[in-house]
Copies of this chain bind each other. A is one copy, B any other.
């Protein structure tokens, strides 16, 4: 054992010249890496900052630190419909239906490529899809995942909601129950949450809680978290692990990346415009800070082990890291992964991209580590 007292002492000059006495009491920048910052502030007597950062217009290149597939996805222009807001129920439904057809067109190929079958069913009175991989490893035989799809609270009804479940089922070798929860405009909050909790409650009758993993992306990630809050309120057993990816855990425009990554994230672009409209449609007059709408304001003590995912260009990066910090502060085993250069959910966009395999493999590994058998 190295003993400090056995080491040679050399002269120690506490170099604090008289001129520095002037600095005492001032707020020096104490960061090791920002001595230059402190220096500049001493030198120029900066005015009290207004705080807002004025960032000039910039051209940000496509990063070369991701796969070619991901570069193509990041290179896409901003989603031009981000500020186009439906004004009638019919317009909402037409938009949702059109989008669903786009997603569904890809599904046969995904099911085939990943060797996954999808069968519609119902559990606890709620429509679901049963997603089954060709081969189920022995360790996963008594495990079932509960999937809550994303789609800004309005998209991906029916089969369109199964895409992410197909990927994790295929990459991870898990049986998945994907919940076709009710959505606005017909069924606003708390219909989706009611459906998610109803399926979980029903699953507990046949599956050990520890053998259940719950996952979802974006609005689905937030629904994973609110399902835990409701399960706690109803004294239901919590699952063995959860994977809320880039959860929209705060429906108020709160979280720094909602500003720093505005107009940088080409998927969501901004929380204003269309997304804001989906929030109000879903909340249906409820307080947006209700923890069952914005789980960041909920009590996360006792949550199961959690793996969170985001990307450096993700509008919801801050929501994701805020949930991570909050879980850690509550003593929950929670891990975070952030994908380089990628906007909202892009890591899961292309099954041929190494990032997509990596994302699903990491979640599968985390579930394998924490779920019962």
Residues of A within 8 A of B (CB): 1-4, 7-17, 20, 23-24, 27-44, 46, 49-65, 71-72, 74-82, 95-96, 98-106, 108, 110, 118-123, 127, 130, 132, 142, 144, 149-152, 155-156, 158-161, 163-164, 175, 177, 203, 206-207, 217-220, 246, 254-257, 259-264, 266-268, 274, 312-313, 317-318, 321-322, 324-325, 328-329, 335-341, 344-346, 348-350, 358, 362
Contact = CB atoms under 8 A, between A and B. Distances in A.
Contacts of A23: 102, 105
Contacts of A53: 59-60, 78, 263-264, 266
Nearest to A348: B31
B60 A10 contact: no
A79 B11 contact: no
Nearest to A221: B33
A133 to B, nearest CB: 11
A149 B354 CA distance: 35
B102 A75 contact: no
Most chain B CB neighbours (cut-off 10 Å) among A82, A260, A268: A260
A6 B4 CA distance: 68
A37 B122 contact: no
Nearest to A317: B312
Nearest to A27: B72
B151 A32 contact: yes
Contacts of A267: 29, 31, 33-34, 37
A17 B104 CA distance: 10
B35 A102 contact: yes
Nearest to A71: B51
A346 to B, nearest CB: 7
Contacts of A36: 79, 81-82, 95, 99, 152, 155, 274
23 contacts: A7-B121, A7-B130, A10-B127, A12-B119, A12-B159, A14-B108, A20-B105, A30-B349, A31-B345, A32-B156, A32-B220, A35-B156, A39-B102, A46-B77, A51-B75, A52-B62, A256-B341, A260-B260, A260-B264, A260-B312, A324-B337, A325-B340, A336-B338
A313 B260 CA distance: 8
Contacts of A74: 51
Nearest to A175: B4
A272 to B, nearest CB: 13
A222 B4 CA distance: 26
Contact of A335 (B52, B127, B335): B335
Nearest to A202: B2
Nearest to A41: B76
